[in-house]
Structure 1
């Protein structure tokens, strides 16, 4: 089983006098913003190459539409 290398910045959350719960919430927000949670969920099960390529096409289409909407709003 071969994994794609994951590169990113190290995430760090400091626990101060406000408590551990607050630090955990902050860590979850950081993980979500970096896309780590989505990646973990996606890698939980094997994804066939055909399904993977279809997913990538859908994601690219979603990004393209988002860019077009943003350009239309800016005009």
Structure 2
């Protein structure tokens, strides 16, 4: 796993590394390996994870088909625009409109 450090910003690089590790499931696996898990507990955990995954797939399919409503969109907070976001109004207008 690799994270680039830009402008000696270690905090941002650590945040990106933690996010990548969270997505890959590293923290969950570390927690599971901390103590011994009985085979019966392991089977029960794997079965419950499979059920959860199957429910998620079914829910997503039902949302695509319109049987149930999709997730509510979160309102975007007002404030400083994010870097690399939508173009500014000057970039959208044709060059002739900017000049006058």
TM tier, smaller: 0.7 to 0.9
Larger helix share, 1 or 2: 1
Bigger Cα Rg: 2
1:22 aligns with 2:12: yes
**Number of residue-to-residue matches in the alignment:** 65
The runs of 5 or more residues in structure 1 that have no matched partner are 1-10
Residue 4 of structure 1 aligns with which residue? none
CA distance in 2, matches of 1:19, 1:66: 37
1:35 aligns with 2:35: no
Q: How does 1:42-53 map to 2 (within 5 A)?
A: 42-53=32-43
Q: Tell me how far apart the structure 2 counterparts of residues 33 and 18 of structure 1 sit (CA, whole Å).
A: 24
Quote the offset at 1:18 in angstroms: 4.7
Alpha-carbon distance in 2 for matches of 1:18, 1:62: 41
1:71 to 47, 53, 61: 61
What residue number does 1:60 align with?
50
More divergent stretch after superposition (34-43 vs 12-21): 12-21
- Bigger relative CO (Cα 8 Å, ≥ 6 apart): 1
> What root-mean-square deviation, in Å, do the aligned CA atoms of Structure 1 and Structure 2 show?
1.0
Deviation at 1:69, TM superposition (A): 0.5
For structure 2, which runs of at least 5 residues remain unmatched after alignment?
66-100
Measure how far apart 1:74 and its partner are. 1.1
